[in-house]
Structure 1
Amino acid sequence: MNDTPELGIGIGWRPEIAGTVEELSGVDWVEAVAENICPGHLPDSLVRLRERGVTVVPHGVSLGLGGADRPDARRLADLAARAEALGSPLVTEHIAFVRAGGPLAGTPVLEAGHLLPVPRTRDALRVLCENIRIAQDSLPVPLAVENIAALISWPHEEMSEGQFLAELVGRTGVRLLIDVANLHTNHVNRGEDPATALDELPVEAIAYVHVAGGTERDGVWHDTHAHPVTRPVLDVLAELRSRVAPPGVLLERDDDFPPAPELAGELTVIRETIEAAAAAPRRARTTATAGRPGGSAAAPGEDGGTDGAPARERLARRETALLSALVAGAPAPEGFDTGRLRVQSRALAAKRAGVIAKVAPELPEILGSGFRPAFLAYAADRPLHDGYRRDALEFAEHLLDGGGPEDPAARRRLTLWWKDRAGARPPRRATRLVRAARAALTGR
Structure 2
Amino acid sequence: MQQLGTGIGWRPEIADAVERMPGIDWVEAVAENVCPGHLPASLLRLRERGVTVVPHGVSLGLGGADHPDESRLTALAERAQALGAPLVTEHIAFVRAGGPLTASPLLEAGHLLPVPRTRDALDVLCGNIRAAQAALPVPLAVENIAALISWPGEEMTEGQFLYDLADRTGVRLLIDVANLHTNHVNRGEDPAKALDELPVEAIAYVHVAGGFERDGVWHDSHAHPVPRPVLDILADLASRVSPPGVLLERDENFPAPGELERELTAIRETLRTATPRTTGTGTTRTPVPEPAVSTGTGAARTPAFEPAVAATGAEAAPTPIPVEPAVSTGAATSAESGVTAAEAAEAAEQGAACGGSTGAVEADGAARQRLALAQAALLSALVAGTPVPEGFDRVRMGVQARALAAKRADVVAKVAPELPGILGAAYRPAFLAYAQRHPMAGGYRQDALDYAEHLLLAGRPEDADTRRRLRDWWLDRSGPAPRSERPAARLARATRRVLLRR
Within a 5 Å distance, the mapping from 1:195-210 to structure 2 comes to 195-210=192-207
How far is 1:393 from its partner? Answer: 1.7
Within a 5 Å distance, the mapping from 1:293-304 to structure 2 comes to 293-294=320-321, 302-304=357-359
List gaps (5 residues or longer) in structure 2: 285-308, 324-350, 481-486, 495-502
| 1:133 correspondence with 2:130 | yes
Aligned AA (1:326): L
Q: Given the superposition, is the C-alpha separation of residues 289 and 321 from structure 1 closer, same or farther in structure 2, using an over 3 Å criterion?
A: farther
Contact 2:27/2:51 (8 A) holds in 1: yes
How far is 1:394 from its partner? Answer: 1.7
Residue of structure 1 equivalent to 2:317: 290
Residue of structure 1 equivalent to 2:73: 76
Q: Given the superposition, is the C-alpha separation of residues 301 and 87 from structure 1 closer, same or farther in structure 2, using an over 3 Å criterion?
A: closer
Contact 1:12/1:250 (8 A) holds in 2: yes
Q: Given the superposition, is the C-alpha separation of residues 249 and 400 from structure 1 closer, same or farther in structure 2, using an over 3 Å criterion?
A: same
Q: Counterpart of 1:145 in 2: which secondary structure?
A: strand
Aligned AA (2:445): R
How far is 1:416 from its partner? Answer: 2.5
Q: Counterpart of 1:98 in 2: which secondary structure?
A: strand
Match of 1:384 among 440, 448, 473: 440
Match of 1:348 among 400, 404, 420: 404
Q: Given the superposition, is the C-alpha separation of residues 77 and 300 from structure 1 closer, same or farther in structure 2, using an over 3 Å criterion?
A: closer
Aligned AA (1:90): L
Match of 2:426 among 367, 370, 387: 370
How far is 1:301 from its partner? Answer: 5.6
How far is 1:187 from its partner? Answer: 0.2
| 1:360 correspondence with 2:416 | yes
Mapped to 1, the partners of 2:277 and 2:267 lie a distance apart of 16
Mapped to 2, the partners of 1:295 and 1:339 lie a distance apart of 42
Residue of structure 1 equivalent to 2:297: none
Match of 1:35 among 13, 21, 32: 32
Q: Counterpart of 2:160 in 1: which secondary structure?
A: helix
Post-superposition Cα deviations, 1:156-201, rounded to whole Å, max 9, x if no partner, equal 0000000000000110111000000000000000000000000000
Within a 5 Å distance, the mapping from 1:174-185 to structure 2 comes to 174-185=171-182
How far is 1:415 from its partner? Answer: 2.5
Post-superposition Cα deviations, 1:230-278, rounded to whole Å, max 9, x if no partner, equal 1011111011011111000000011111111011111000000111114
Q: Given the superposition, is the C-alpha separation of residues 301 and 43 from structure 1 closer, same or farther in structure 2, using an over 3 Å criterion?
A: closer
Residue of structure 2 equivalent to 1:428: none
Q: Given the superposition, is the C-alpha separation of residues 17 and 152 from structure 1 closer, same or farther in structure 2, using an over 3 Å criterion?
A: same
Aligned AA (2:357): E
Contact 2:384/2:436 (8 A) holds in 1: yes
Which deviates more from structure 2 when the two are superposed, residues 381-390 or residues 57-66?
A: 381-390
Contact 1:39/1:85 (8 A) holds in 2: yes
Mapped to 2, the partners of 1:347 and 1:190 lie a distance apart of 17
Aligned AA (1:413): R
Mapped to 1, the partners of 2:46 and 2:398 lie a distance apart of 43
Mapped to 2, the partners of 1:180 and 1:324 lie a distance apart of 30
| Seq. identity, % | 70
Residue of structure 2 equivalent to 1:20: 17
Q: Given the superposition, is the C-alpha separation of residues 300 and 21 from structure 1 closer, same or farther in structure 2, using an over 3 Å criterion?
A: closer
Contact 1:133/1:172 (8 A) holds in 2: yes
How far is 1:108 from its partner? Answer: 1.4
Post-superposition Cα deviations, 1:305-351, rounded to whole Å, max 9, x if no partner, equal 41211100100000000001011111101100011111111111111
Mapped to 2, the partners of 1:300 and 1:182 lie a distance apart of 29
Mapped to 1, the partners of 2:471 and 2:418 lie a distance apart of 12
Aligned AA (2:147): A
How far is 1:435 from its partner? Answer: 6.0
Aligned AA (1:159): M
Residue of structure 1 equivalent to 2:299: none
How far is 1:279 from its partner? Answer: 6.4
List gaps (5 residues or longer) in structure 1: 425-430, 439-444
Q: Counterpart of 1:261 in 2: which secondary structure?
A: helix
Residue of structure 1 equivalent to 2:330: none
Mapped to 1, the partners of 2:133 and 2:430 lie a distance apart of 43
Match of 1:421 among 477, 481, 485: 477
Contact 1:179/1:211 (8 A) holds in 2: yes
Which deviates more from structure 2 when the two are superposed, residues 278-287 or residues 73-82?
A: 278-287
Aligned AA (2:320): P
Contact 1:101/1:109 (8 A) holds in 2: yes
Residue of structure 2 equivalent to 1:218: 215
Aligned AA (2:53): V
How far is 1:73 from its partner? Answer: 1.1
Contact 1:167/1:294 (8 A) holds in 2: no
Post-superposition Cα deviations, 1:88-127, rounded to whole Å, max 9, x if no partner, equal 1111000000111111111111111100000000000000
Q: Given the superposition, is the C-alpha separation of residues 423 and 326 from structure 1 closer, same or farther in structure 2, using an over 3 Å criterion?
A: same
Contact 1:200/1:289 (8 A) holds in 2: no
Q: Given the superposition, is the C-alpha separation of residues 289 and 189 from structure 1 closer, same or farther in structure 2, using an over 3 Å criterion?
A: farther
Aligned AA (1:404): R
Mapped to 2, the partners of 1:236 and 1:256 lie a distance apart of 24
How far is 1:291 from its partner? Answer: 3.9
How far is 1:366 from its partner? Answer: 1.6
